[in-house]
Amino acid sequence: MTTTVPVVSERESRPARGGPLSVLRIFRSPEWGLLLAIAAALLVIYFLDSSHAFFYGYRVQTLFHNVALFGLLAIGASIVIISGGIDLSTGSLVALASVMSAKLLTDWLHRGGSAAAPSAGLVAIAISLTLLMGLLIGLFHAFLITMVRLPPFIATLATMAGLRSLAKIADGNHTVTVRYDTFRFLGDDYRVSLGIFLVAAVFFSVLMGNTVLGRHIYAMGGNETAARLSGVRTRRLKFIVYGVSGFLSALGGVLFAGKNGLGDHSLGISYELIAITAAVVGGCSLSGGIGSIRGTVLGLLLTQIVIQGTGQVAPKGIDSTTIEGLVLGTVVILAVAFNQLVRTRRE
């Protein structure tokens, strides 16, 4: 007797047949609610800010730059959450990756910090080693969860503290400045960062919604026991999921280092909260098995608009960084409460 595992995927709202009903079903997709929320937030900012500076020039570039950089972290967080897990080490891994890439280019690989700019090949090697480090850390998380049988919360909470300490040891408790344009352009130019993010978003959206691997990840998040009894190799999936999260966090660390021009062990504090918030606002259930990459992208865009917009219309002396924690906390509570309400009504 074969057990069938119910799978919730990014294509769950698409009907089997065409016709008018399929069009109506598309407009009932959860992402449309996020689009309406984004439009409403922009309208509120437009009417409250008489200068309308939020919609022009540097502020627009900053918005898209933040979406691109934090978007890589959010994609990794959403895949882990959909699988039924959690990754709290994102921010610390961003810090370690920034220090790792900076030290490789200024000391470990580049002849003790030679004044001459490193070659493109050397930059590629430094970035590749940093990304490999992120992948291995993600696989280590999966090892702790599957083999040592630690809860994901405990496993990644422990490394959240440990990785930041490693970053502090590596940079000698000092920031590591990187001035090389061959490295910095990846994170310093918002168009390059946005391009990298869009490629990652499209790739993982297709993977999660249109492949067997993606369907198995949804199945594991929805009911791990049923998925395992149906032949899904859940241990292997966890290695893939956490490996992807570690890889994307390291890539985010490289881009942040390029943007700031330095590696810093204090970088990335609360970045995991931003990533998880984007996933939750985008419709990912913390219980697993529900969510989408496109929803996460829209959730991140909404979150960043609210954060920066609040700073724009707030009284003088208060900027977005001052109230970011308050805004994120409020958004998380509202998003989770709304998702619970919708789920209860459906049941």
Residue 24 lies inside a defined structural domain of this protein: no
The pLDDT of residue 316: 67
Residue 307 lies inside a defined structural domain of this protein: yes
Residue 18 lies inside a defined structural domain of this protein: no
Q: Where are the beta strands (DSSP E) in 172-319?
A: 176-177, 262-263
Chain centroid offset of residue 277 CA? 9
| Whole-number Å distance between alpha carbons of 301 and 305 | 6
| Whole-number Å distance between alpha carbons of 212 and 252 | 27
Residue 20 lies inside a defined structural domain of this protein: no
Half-sphere exposure of 128 (CA within 13 A, CB side): 7
The pLDDT of residue 165: 95
The pLDDT of residue 317: 62
Phi, psi for 322 (deg, rounded to 5): -70, -40
Closest CA to 142 of 89, 100, 215: 89
The pLDDT of residue 3: 47
**Contacts from 228-237 at CB under 8 Å and sequence distance 24+?**
229/3, 230/2, 230/3, 230/4, 230/5, 232/5, 235/146, 237/83, 237/213
Phi, psi for 262 (deg, rounded to 5): -165, 160
Residue 19 lies inside a defined structural domain of this protein: no
The residue type at 241: V
Instruction: With both helix axes pointing from N to C terminus, report the angle between 57-82 and 271-281 in degrees, rounded to the nearest 10.
Output: 80
**Residue whose tokens read 């407009």:** 27
Task: Return the structure tokens found at 176.
Answer: 């590591």
Q: Where are the beta strands (DSSP E) in 107-254?
A: 176-177
Q: Dihedral through CA 24, CA 30, CA 31, CA 33, nearest 10?
A: 90
The residue type at 103: K
Distances in Å between the alpha carbon of 32 and those of 25, 27, 180, 202?
11, 7, 42, 18
Residue 76 lies inside a defined structural domain of this protein: yes
Residue 15 lies inside a defined structural domain of this protein: no
The pLDDT of residue 293: 95
**Tally of domains in the chain:** 1
Helix residue spans in 49-180 (DSSP H):
57-82, 90-103, 120-146, 152-170
Closest CA to 5 of 291, 238, 212, 226: 226
Residue 55 lies inside a defined structural domain of this protein: yes
Mean pLDDT by 10 residues, the chain (347 residues): 47 44 54 86 86 84 94 97 96 97 88 69 94 97 96 96 95 90 91 96 95 96 94 95 97 96 93 93 91 94 88 67 75 75 63
For residue 105, give the CATH number of its domain.
1.10.3470
Distances in Å between the alpha carbon of 286 and those of 18, 210, 233?
32, 22, 21
Q: What is the pTM of this model?
A: 0.88
The pLDDT of residue 104: 93
Look up the domain containing 61 and give its range. Answer: 31-346
- Strands 176-177 and 262-263, by their bridges, are antiparallel
